[in-house]
Chains A and B, each alone.
Chain A
Amino acid sequence: MLRDLSLDLEAGSFVTLLGPAGSGKTTLLRILAGIEKPDSGRIFFEGVDVTALPVQKRNIAFVYQQFINYPSMTLFDNIASPLRVAKKKYAETEIKRKVAETAELLGLSGILQHLPEEVSGGQRQRCAIARALVKESRFIFLDEPLANLDYKLREELRADLKQIFRERDGVVVYATPEPIDALTMATHVAFMRKGEILQYGEVRDVYRNPAHAAVGSYFCHPQMNMIPCSMENRESGESLLRVSQELAFEVSLDRQKLPSDRYLLGIRPHHLYLADPLNRMVPFQANVELAEVVGSNTELHLSHDAVRISLLMQQVERFPVGKKVTAFIDPDELYIFDSETGTFVIRTGNRFK
Chain B
Amino acid sequence: MAKIELKSLEHRYESSHKGKSAFAIEDLNIAWEDGTANALLGPSGCGKTTILNIISGLIKPTSGEVLFDGTRVNDLPTRERHIAQVFQFPVVYDTMSVFDNLAFPLRNRGQDESVVRARTGEIMELLDLSKLANTKSGSLNPAEKQIVSLGRGIARTDTMAVLLDEPLTVIDPVLKLDLRRKLRLAQHELKLTMIYVTHDQHEALTFADHVTIMKDGAVMQSDTPEALFLTPRTPFVGYFIGSPGMNRLPCEKTSTGLSVAGSPIAIQESIGLAANKLDGTIELGIRPEFVETSIEEKPSWNRMAIRSVDYAGAYQVLNLESGTVRIKARVEERFPSQEGDFIWAHFPADKTHIYVDGERLDR
Chain A contacts to B: CB under 8 angstroms: 150-152, 155, 159, 162-163, 179-180, 183-184, 203-204, 207, 220-221, 268-270, 289-297, 301, 312, 314-318, 320-321, 351
Contact = CB atoms under 8 A, between A and B. Distances in A.
B240 interface: yes
Contacts, number: 97
User: A221, A295, A296: which has the most chain B beta carbons within 10 Å?
Assistant: A296
Contacts of A297: 314
A269 B313 CA distance: 11
Contacts of B201: 151-152, 295
16 contacts: A155-B245, A159-B244, A162-B308, A183-B313, A184-B310, A204-B311, A268-B313, A290-B180, A291-B206, A292-B205, A293-B205, A296-B243, A296-B330, A314-B289, A314-B314, A318-B226
A206 to B, nearest CB: 11
Contacts of B209: 318
B250 interface: no
Given A318-B225, A320-B188, A321-B188, A294 B202 contact: yes
Contact of A296 (B185, B200, B289): B289
User: B44, B226, B230: which has the most chain A beta carbons within 10 Å?
Assistant: B226
Contacts of B199: 150
A336 to B, nearest CB: 20
B118 interface: no
B43 interface: yes
A152 B289 contact: no
Contact of A150 (B181, B200, B225, B311): B200
A307 to B, nearest CB: 15
Contacts of B23: none
A220 B315 CA distance: 11
A292 B310 CA distance: 23
Contacts of A151: 200-202, 243
B344 interface: no
Interface in B223-246: 224-226, 229-230, 239-240, 242-245
B76 interface: no
B225 A316 contact: yes
A291 B315 CA distance: 20
A47 B315 CA distance: 38
Please classify how large the interface on chain B is, using the bins under 10, 10 to 19, 20 to 34, 35 or more: 35 or more
A315 B334 CA distance: 18
Contacts of B312: 180, 183-184, 221
Contacts of B229: 296, 316
B184 A290 contact: yes
Interface in B51-105: none
A324 to B, nearest CB: 16
B243 A295 contact: yes
Given A159-B310, A183-B311, A295-B243, 5 more contacts: A269-B314, A292-B180, A293-B206, A294-B205, A320-B188
B177 interface: yes
Contacts of A162: 308, 310
Contacts of A150: 43-44, 199-200
B244 A155 contact: yes
A318 B201 CA distance: 15
A297 B315 CA distance: 11
A351 B334 contact: yes
Counting from the closest, the 10 A-B pairs by CB-CB distance are A295-B243, A293-B205, A270-B314, A292-B206, A316-B229, A290-B181, A296-B242, A184-B310, A293-B225, A183-B313
A241 to B, nearest CB: 23
B285 to A, nearest CB: 14
A283 B225 CA distance: 28
Q: Is the interface of B mostly helix, strand, loop or mixed?
A: mixed
Nearest to A166: B308
Contact of B308 (A163, A204, A315): A163
A98 to B, nearest CB: 25
A316 B307 CA distance: 28
A316 B240 CA distance: 15
Given A150-B199, A159-B310, A289-B181, A296 B287 contact: yes
A155 B328 CA distance: 13
A316 B242 CA distance: 10
User: B202, B209, B314: which has the most chain A beta carbons within 10 Å?
Assistant: B314
Nearest to A204: B311
Interface in B294-312: 308, 310-312
Contact of B177 (A155, A301, A316, A351): A301
Contact of B240 (A152, A159, A184, A204): A152
B42 to A, nearest CB: 10
B180 A316 contact: no
A351 B333 CA distance: 12
Contacts of B224: 318
Interface in B174-227: 177, 180-181, 184-185, 188, 199-202, 205-206, 209, 224-226
Given A289-B181, A314-B289, A207 B243 contact: no
Contacts of B289: 296, 314-315
A159 B245 CA distance: 12
Contacts of A159: 244, 310
Nearest to A184: B310
Contacts of B242: 295-296
A221 B311 CA distance: 12
Given A151-B200, A296-B242, A351-B334, A221 B225 contact: no
Contacts of A204: 311
A317 to B, nearest CB: 7
A293 to B, nearest CB: 4
A268 B333 CA distance: 12
User: A183, A290, A317, A351: which has the most chain B beta carbons within 10 Å?
Assistant: A290
Nearest to A268: B314
Nearest to B315: A314
B243 A294 contact: yes
Nearest to A185: B310
Interface string B315-342: 1000000000000001001100000000
Nearest to A351: B334
A291 to B, nearest CB: 7
A314 B177 CA distance: 20
Nearest to A177: B173
Interface in B1-57: 43-44
Nearest to A219: B313
